[in-house]
Amino acid sequence: MLKHHAYRSLRFGLWLGVLLGVQSAYASATYYADCNRPDDGGDGKSWAAAKQTIQAAVDLAVASDLVLVTNGVYDKGGKADPSTSLSTNRVFSPRTITIRAMSTNPADTVIVGAPDGGTGGCGPAAIRGYKGILYSGASYLIGFTITNGYTIASSSGGGTDYKDLYGGGAHGGILSNCVIVGNRAQTTGGGMAYGSVYNSIIINNTASSGGGVGVSAFCYYCVISNNTATGSGGALYNGVNAYNCQIVNNMAGAGGAMQSAGLASNCVIRGNTATGNGGCAESSVGQKFYNCLIVENQAKRGGAAYTRWISGAASEFTTFVNCTVVSNWATESGYYGGIEGRNGATGPYWVTNCIIRFNYNTTGGVESNYHFSTDSSVANSCLWPDITGQAFDKGGNIGDDPCLVGTGDYQSRYQLTGNSRCINAGLNLFWDASSKDLIGRRRIISGIVDMGAYEFLARVTIITGH
């Protein structure tokens, strides 16, 4: 049984409460599913007459209706999306409805897909866990474990059929409070493709690219861990945006955590591995990292990040703003433990307010933090060796020891101590009074933002007399 970790914020909790309240208020009908019923013969309008399969209840619902699902394992039924007709989904929801588990523990209510009987994996008879409408009109799936889902192995090559190769566990829709575990996609998004996912765990999924999540998806307050891509993007691939997520212990050939993903904001990206380039990220287009802790990742080349080609347009620079990039390592001689680029245009970066220190190449045991092209832009950051006077030095950079705490858990040891020159040494950029650092402190405390992902907060001792 999976233990669902509490990884959420007050803001998200309030948002979800409002969402469910609004949906309940406007639900025109409620239908019921109970896997312990003998069949789908009931009318689905009460628990006593519940449908056996979720799909049968969903088929009754129209826009704004609610489908309630009681505890159990749902491994029967299914439906193809008629727009492609290539793959079967254990649950297919083409309308704006809410499908909600009665239990708040996703381990209690499980949607189970199935591999193709002939291949034992992806194939023509495989069954995906869940499919919802993309973007406008998406349905809501709340409180489930989705497991053992598989995609087809090849498409007919016409129209949007290729999309049925994406998303072994889920494809589209809006998911919340779910565990997406042990699914496989033939090409992209082992756990999920497209859609949005909130406050969920995405773990132990597999695909060629994007072992966890792939293709134009949004992840909020999620734990994305232990996913595998045989090619690129162990956790995220191709235009996936992650906000307030923990992206840990994923593996890929290139981009242990991310490859050509869109943006990571307020994320912890830790312990990911690439057998080739970019322990955290590899990119041929501009990925963006804001307020992120990027630590303990490894690769042959570019322990933290590796840019292999880029056009040179400013909007496509690989961007790091207020990130702490520490304790990453490269294992192949001559490459950098921190961030670097190669192959022709050597990887332009736009780096501001960052700490990039104590990254190593394991073959030489020496600190090796960066390799920037001359058209990169580096400002108000802490790096070693000192970059003062180099073409990419845009001012405000320091080569000092950042004076990190160095002890405690990963959220503690990479914070600043009071004697750090990184305090009040950044550029305020787009940060304002409402902005928060990685652990929710105000991003600007003393008028000027600090370098790195954490704002320093001095401890004050108050002595009172008697």
Per residue in 182-237, pLDDT (tens digit) is 999 999 999 999 999 999 999 999 999 999 999 999 999 999 999 999 999 999 99
Which tokens hold the place of 9? 């914020």
Which residue blocks in 329-421 are alpha helix, DSSP H? 410-413
Q: Tell me the C-alpha distance between 168 and 150, whole Å.
A: 4
- Edge to edge, the sheet with strand 109-112 lists 72-74, 109-112, 145-147, 179-181, 201-203, 223-225, 246-248, 268-270, 293-295, 324-326, 355-357, 382-383
For residue 5, what pLDDT is reported? 38
Return the minimum-mean-pLDDT range out of 20-24, 122-126, 266-270, 450-454: 20-24
Return the minimum-mean-pLDDT range out of 104-108, 217-221, 266-270, 282-286: 282-286
Q: Of 27-31, 277-281, 315-319, where does the model show the most confidence?
A: 277-281
Q: Tell me the C-alpha distance between 198 and 335, whole Å.
A: 37
The pTM of this model reads 0.92
- Beta strand 79-80 with 88-93 is antiparallel
Three-state SS at 58: helix
> What are the beta bridge partners of residue 67?
31, 99
pLDDT tens readout for residues 385-397: 999 899 999 999 9
Q: Tell me the C-alpha distance between 43 and 316, whole Å.
A: 55
Q: Tell me the C-alpha distance between 181 and 191, whole Å.
A: 7
DSSP one-letter string for 180-238: EES-B-SSB-SSEESSEEES-EEES-EEEE-SSEESS-EEES-EEES-EEEEE-SSEES
> Over 80: is that where the pLDDT of 238 sits?
yes
Among residues 254, 356, 358, which one has the least CA distance to residue 309?
A: 254
Helix (H) or strand (E) holding 338: none
For residue 7, what pLDDT is reported? 39
For residue 15, what pLDDT is reported? 43
Q: Of 81-95, 307-321, 416-430, where does the model show the most confidence?
A: 416-430
Q: Tell me the C-alpha distance between 242 and 262, whole Å.
A: 8
Counted residue by residue, the chain has a size of: 466
Q: Tell me the C-alpha distance between 196 and 139, whole Å.
A: 11
Q: Of 13-22, 78-87, 280-289, 322-331, where does the model show the most confidence?
A: 322-331
By CB neighbour count within 10 A (0-12 exposed, 13-18 middle, 19+ buried), where does 418 fall? exposed
Is the distance from CB of 260 to CB of 237 less than 8 angstroms? yes
Q: Tell me the average pLDDT across 299-307.
A: 94
Q: Tell me the C-alpha distance between 214 and 272, whole Å.
A: 17
Q: Tell me the average pLDDT across 2-27.
A: 43
For residue 431, what pLDDT is reported? 93
Angle among Cα 214, 6, 108 to the nearest 5 degrees reads 80
Q: Tell me the average pLDDT across 5-13.
A: 39
Mean pLDDT of the chain: 89
Where do we find the tokens 């193809």?
80
Is the distance from CB of 422 to CB of 402 less than 8 angstroms? yes
Is the distance from CB of 146 to CB of 168 less than 8 angstroms? no
> Over 60: is that where the pLDDT of 344 sits?
no
> Over 80: is that where the pLDDT of 139 sits?
yes
Three-state SS at 131: strand
CA 352 to chain centroid, in Å, comes to 23
Q: Tell me the average pLDDT across 343-368.
A: 86
Percent of the chain having pLDDT more than 70?
Answer: 87
